[in-house]
Chain A
Amino acid sequence: MKLIGKMTILLCGILLIVFANKFPEFGDPHSPASTHLSPYYIEHTMADTAVPNMVTSVLADYRGYDTMFETTVILTAGLACFFLLRLPEEEEKEIYFRHVPTGVTIRIEECGAAPEDSDVFQRIDAQWVPRDIIIRSTSRLLMPFIQIFALYVVAHGHHSPGGGFQGGVILGAAVILFAISHNLRTTVAKISETSAAIMSAAGVFIYAGTGALCVMLGENFLNYGALAPLLGTDRVMARSHGILIVEIGVALAVMSVMIWIYYNLSSAGKQDEGL
């Protein structure tokens, strides 16, 4: 197997190298890639969409349809991880509690007389580790900044690098940071899996729904120009706003899917309690 693998790879490599010799010069401004299609985007992005960041305009408008499915890919991954990993609720489960004043961990096997979750008795998960106060405080301190930055990235994607994806991932990362520095149980209590799932579907729905709205207004799918009467602007600005709307959808979807995948991967589907 290894030998066959190596042979295949050698063959592929040689083929690739042979054909790579025929490429145009690296960075050649006159290569077909730089002269056929891309000049249109570069020269018309302002006039068509009023978005100076061409990547954003191409991403969310010219090839907005691609991006919608890109978001769907993410959602699919979230669904897939959930579908593959999530375990149903176990019949007899063990519950761990921690007596905060003494720091004693209590395991209750039959959920008969479990104490209320309170300041004294704190419910914890099986993989609970004593938390470091420094890490916890620092990450708590950092989170708002991360989130604000993420919002900036989402909103300012028209003018600078960034957009829904990057912003969404950062937002998700903030929550993941919280989950790492605290624990999964606390995070799930704040953003439940259900809400993460519904938000991720809703995020893609914002995108696809915007497109469907355009169809209802009598234009092509995702043709944001159709939204002009609703937004009260001209068609070019409507495109710009339309891009913002879908970027928000993307950010919502990406954020919640990242959280959702993390929930399932990091607990191997247990999340300490079943569905």
Chain B
Amino acid sequence: MIWQLDLIILVLVIVCAIAAINVKDLLSAAILLGAYSFLLCLLWAIMGAVDVAFTEATVGAGVSTVFCVSAVFHTTRRTTD
């Protein structure tokens, strides 16, 4: 495990998380959530949790994002916060 890499990804993860809940467009929020999941997946791969990383890549970054997007597609993209 390379701690520099670890640290960089951690920072990116946090940035993605904060961005996801602050962005004014729900579609962007959904996509940012996907990015967040994917970064976490990288993080876990670095930490040696390969199975978790694999699952997070498929479930978190893949299907969850699809679900979020399709839900946003059926509701609205607008939000005030």
Contact = CB atoms under 8 A, between A and B. Distances in A.
A215 interface: no
A244 interface: no
B54 A262 contact: no
B62 A55 contact: no
Interface in A106-128: none
B70 to A, nearest CB: 4
Which secondary structure dominates where chain B touches chain A?
helix
B70 A262 contact: yes
Contacts of A55: 50-51
B55 A166 contact: yes
A266 B63 contact: no
A262 B66 contact: yes
Interface stretch (A94-102, A167-175, A198-206, A235-243): A167-175
A208 interface: no
A161 interface: yes
A162 interface: yes
Contacts of A253: none
Contacts, number: 50
Contacts of A163: 51
Interface string B57-80: 011001100110011011000000
A176 B70 CA distance: 11
Contacts of A161: 50-51, 53-54
A166 B70 contact: no
Size bin of chain A's contact surface: 20 to 34
Size bin of chain B's contact surface: 10 to 19
A176 B73 contact: no
Contacts of B73: 266
A265 interface: yes
Contact of B54 (A166, A173, A180, A265): A166
B66 A176 contact: yes
Nearest to B67: A265
Nearest to A56: B51
Contacts of B66: 173, 176, 180, 262
Contacts of B74: 265-268
Contacts of A265: 67, 70-71, 74
Contacts of B1: 27
Contacts of A153: 54
Given A262-B67, A265-B74, A266-B74, A173 B51 contact: no
Interface of B: 1, 50-51, 53-55, 58-59, 62-63, 66-67, 70-71, 73-74
The 6 closest A-B pairs by CB, nearest first: A266-B70, A169-B58, A161-B50, A55-B51, A268-B74, A265-B70
29 contacts: A27-B1, A53-B51, A55-B51, A56-B51, A161-B50, A161-B51, A161-B53, A162-B54, A163-B51, A165-B58, A166-B54, A166-B55, A166-B58, A169-B55, A169-B63, A170-B58, A172-B63, A173-B58, A173-B63, A176-B66, A180-B66, A258-B63, A262-B63, A265-B67, A265-B70, A265-B71, A265-B74, A266-B73, A268-B74
